[in-house]
Amino acid sequence: TIKADIALVAVGRHPATESLGLDDVGVALSDRGRIRVDSRFETSVEDIYAIGDVIDGPMLAHKAEEDGVAAVEMMAGQAGHVDYDLVPGIVYTAPEVATLGKSEEMLKADGTAYKKGSFSFSANSRARASGHPEGFVKILACAETDRVLGVHIIGHEAGTIIHECATAMVFGASSEDIARTCHGHPTLNEAVKEAALAVDGRAIHM
């Protein structure tokens, strides 16, 4: 449990496409008001491309950057790809919140069998020594293959820690792959290793 004085919720963003003159050139929009694009980020009008918040996917600056790189790569005849399931979502609160991949609710809705491991920062040496023992790391893995399907972190520097998991998931890592990776001590990232160990009930410092 984390105590707070105020909880601020800012929701309801929408793509700012009204003043772009899209109707004048015939660019098609979705029912949600986003620009429709194909796998190459090309709109319904040849040679007009769109990326970022005006198309589908999470409305995040780093997602838009990846869109832009992939779009230009494909314009240049190269291969480009953005996996929206592996775009980290970060909330810069105190403590920070970071998410990646599927949540438990999503996996249940999909009927995907999964296992999970959690590790509290209160048992992490660096977090305790630096005065940030709040929060935890949770890893969700496929029950059959052990492939990591989602990672959720609440705690100090969560937005930095999550990128270790992003790299692992891009390469299809299992929770055991993370668990068997040597982590420096004392570091906050040791909580990731412990959460991965906890997927199979093998956490060391619980």
Q: Which residues are catalytic?
A: 185
Residues ≥6 apart with Cβ < 8 Å to 110: 102
Q: Dig out the tokens for 66 from the structure.
A: 């990846």
Determine the Cα–Cα distance for residues 122 and 201; give it in Å rounded to an integer: 18
Residue 49, CA distances (Å) to 44, 72, 131, 144 in order? 9, 10, 48, 40
User: Dihedrals φ, ψ of 128, to 5°?
Assistant: -65, -45
CB 66 within 8 A of CB 86: no
Residues ≥6 apart with Cβ < 8 Å to 7: none
